[in-house]
Chain A
Amino acid sequence: MTAPGTFVARYGIWIFGAVLLLIMPHVFTSSFALNLMSQMGVLIIFSLAYNMLLGQGGMLSFGHAIYFGLAGYFTIHYLNFVYDDIAPYIPVSLFPLLGGCVGLFFGTLVGYVSTRRAGTTFAMISLGFGEMVTALTLILVAIFNGEDGIQTDRVVGPEPLGISYGPNIEVYYLIAVWVLVAAAAMYALTKTPFGRMSNAVRDNPERTEFIGYNSQRIRWLAFALSSFFAGLAGSLHAINFEHVGFEQVSALTSGLVLFMAYIGGVGHFAGPVIGAVLITFLNGTLTTYTEAWQLYLGVLFVAVIMFFPGGLAGLIIMHQPIWRIDTRLLAPLTVPYLLFIGALLVSLIGFIGLVELLIYKTSRLGAAHDLTIFGITMDPSGVVPWISFAIVMAVGVYAIRKAFPVAAGAWNTAIDQARARAAQ
Chain B
Amino acid sequence: MNAALQLKDVHKSFGKTEIIRGVDLEIREGERHAVIGPNGAGKSTLYNLISGRFPVSSGAIRLRDQDITNRSAFEINRAGLCRSFQVTNLFHRMSVLDNVRCGALFSLGHKYAFWKFVSRQKDVAERADDILERIGLSGKRDWPAGMLSYADQRALELGVTIAGGGDVILLDEPTAGMSHSEIAQAVALIRRISTGKTLMIVEHDMGVVFDLADRISVLVYGEVIATGTPEEIRNSAQVKEAYLGTEAT
Knowing A196-B101, A200-B94 touch, does A209 contact B116 (C-beta < 8 A)? no
Residue B78 CB within 8 A of the other chain:
yes
For the complex formed, measure the closest distance between the CB of B102 and the CB atoms of chain A, giving whole angstroms: 5
- Asked if B117 and A208 make an inter-chain contact with CB atoms under 8 angstroms apart, the answer reads no
Residue from B77, B89, B91, B107 within 8 A of A199 (CB atoms): B91
A203 adjacent to B93 (CB under 8 Å): yes
Assess the B118–A192 pair: CB atoms within 8 A.
yes
- Looking at chain A's contact residues, the main secondary structure is helix
Residues of B within 8 A of A189 (CB): 114
- CA gap between A217 and B91 in the complex, in Å: 18
Determine whether A4 belongs to the interface, using a CB cutoff of 8 Å to chain B. no
Does B61 count as interface, using CB distance less than 8 angstroms?
A: no
Query: In the bound complex, do residue A192 and residue B116 qualify as a contact, i.e. CB atoms below 8 Å apart?
Result: yes
Contact of B117 among A191, A199, A200, A209 (CB under 8 A): A191
**Cα–Cα, bound, A5→B104 (Å):** 31
A213 and B74 alpha carbons, distance in the complex (Å):
6
CB distance from B116 to the nearest CB of A (A): 6
**B218 contacts partner chain A, Cβ-Cβ < 8 Å:** no
Separation of A228 and B164 alpha carbons in the complex (Å)? 31
Q: Which residues of B contact A350 (CB under 8 A)?
A: none
The reply to whether B73 and A199 form a contact with Cβ atoms under 8 Å apart is no
Q: CA separation between A194 and B163, bound complex, in Å?
A: 17
Given the interface contacts A192-B117, A209-B72, A217-B112, does A197 sit within 8 Å of B105 by beta carbon? yes
Assess whether A188 is in contact with B117, with CB atoms less than 8 Å apart. yes
- Kindly identify which residue among A196, A206, A211 contacts B77, using a CB–CB cutoff of 8 Å: A211
* Complex contact A199–B93 (CB within 8 A): yes
- Within 8 Å by CB of B114, from A194, A208, A214, lies A194
Quick check: is B111 within 8 A (CB to CB) of the other chain? yes
Question: Is there an interface contact between B114 and A211, defined as CB atoms closer than 8 Å?
Answer: no
Interface residues of A in 183-203 (CB under 8 A from B): 188-189, 191-197, 199-200, 202-203
Q: Does B234 contact A (CB under 8 A)?
A: no
> Does B110 lie at the interface of the complex (its beta carbon under 8 Å from any beta carbon of A)?
yes
B82: interface (CB < 8 Å) = yes
Residue B83 interfacial (CB < 8 Å): yes
Q: Kindly state the separation between the CA atoms of A191 and B94 in the bound complex, as whole angstroms.
A: 13
Which B residues are within 8 Å of any A CB, using their own CB? 51-53, 72-74, 77-78, 82-83, 85, 89-94, 98, 101-103, 105-107, 110-119, 160-161, 163-164
What 4 additional pairs, Cβ within 8 angstroms, besides A193-B113, A194-B114?
A: A202-B93, A209-B52, A210-B74, A212-B105
